[in-house]
Amino acid sequence: MPELPEVETTRRGLAPHLVGRRVDKLIVRQPRLRWPIAPELIALLPGQRVDDIERRAKYLLVHTQAGSALLHLGMSGSLRVLPETTPVGSHDHIDWRLDSGQVLRYTDPRRFGSQLWQNAGEIHPLLAGLGPEPLGDDFDGDYLWHLSRERKTAVKLLLMDQKIVVGVGNIYAAEALFAAGIHPSRAAGQVSRARYAVLAVAVKQILAYAIGRGGTTLRDFISPDGQPGYFEQELFVYGRSGQPCRKCATPVKVITLGQRSTFFCPRCQH
């Protein structure tokens, strides 16, 4: 599943090809994604010029004067800018034809992604109530510490709660908790202020590093330039159950927390 770094990598890859361009036409081959493609998008987007492309959590917002297209890659979606003449594959569901002679092509074998619409001056219900961006200044150790007092929920679940902070997926939560030496099932209210400071910095560093590398290598994900990232070989605990911890050689353990596999080193994390 594309995580925050892949979505940010996509945004950065698309921006030079989209911003300032006019969308001349939409070619919808398959309107049934996770939700049907928004009728407002079909009605309002053609003829609009792209002012900016922004990321919020794992959504991309393509801003125009008429409003914003709200795009999500779902489980297996990708967005690429291609020459208009590029042959169409069976999973290429939507093209935005641009005035540059290129198309923004949405490909999604599993069709869990979405193309929705946000009216100008409004916030889409899917974006309302989201916590701060992990790479923003609003997210730091003190923020986590204040929010977590008296809370018995596992610290990993707190970190993955979109109302607390957005976009810290399972991989990045596991790696950040390892970097901070915090056991993933420790009660959030029992983690000290100092350790939250370390954890927040680790979250930012790991996400920024993954963005720099183009995100993790994931089965279905292709970055806008077609090159997958190569972060997977550098993971410390995620997906490494039974393999030696890269710091202390103790076998990495896996437990289930909130119905998600949770990898940690029983010696390095407490």
Given the rule CB under 5 A, which residues bind Zn ion? 245, 247-248, 250, 265, 267-268
Closest separation between CB of residue 155 and Zn ion, Å? 18
Beta-strand ranges (E) seen in the chain are 23-28, 52-56, 59-64, 67-72, 78-83, 92-98, 102-107, 114-119, 253-257, 260-264
- Give the active site residue among 11, 21, 58, 253: 58
- Give the active site residue among 12, 22, 186, 260: 260
Closest separation between CB of residue 249 and Zn ion, Å? 7
Closest separation between CB of residue 237 and Zn ion, Å? 8
Closest separation between CB of residue 180 and Zn ion, Å? 13
Cβ distance to Zn ion smaller for residue 103 or 268: 268
Among this protein's residues, is 58 annotated catalytic? yes
In terms of Cα–Cα distance, which of 120, 158, 128 is closest to 56? 128
Cβ distance to Zn ion smaller for residue 257 or 265: 265
In terms of Cα–Cα distance, which of 27, 119, 23, 32 is closest to 70? 119
Cβ distance to Zn ion smaller for residue 111 or 267: 267
Closest separation between CB of residue 245 and Zn ion, Å? 3
- Give the active site residue among 2, 134, 184, 224: 2
Query: Pairing mode, if any, of strands 59-64 and 67-72?
Result: antiparallel
Closest-CB residue for Zn ion?
245
How many C-beta atoms lie closer than 10 Å to residue 85's C-beta? 8
91 is in an annotated binding site: yes
In terms of Cα–Cα distance, which of 125, 127, 106, 111 is closest to 23? 106
Q: Residues with Cβ < 8 Å from 156, sequence gap 6 or more?
A: 173, 174, 177, 184, 185, 257, 258, 262
70 with 117: CB under 8 angstroms?
A: yes
Among this protein's residues, is 251 annotated catalytic? no
Cβ distance to Zn ion smaller for residue 33 or 182: 182
Which residue's entry shows tokens 């006019």?
Answer: 22
110 is in an annotated binding site: yes
Cβ distance to Zn ion smaller for residue 62 or 268: 268
118 with 124: CB under 8 angstroms?
A: yes
151 is in an annotated binding site: yes
- Residue ranges for the known binding site are 91, 110, 151
- Residue ranges for the known binding site for DNA are 91, 110, 151
Q: Which residues are annotated as catalytic?
A: 2-3, 58, 260
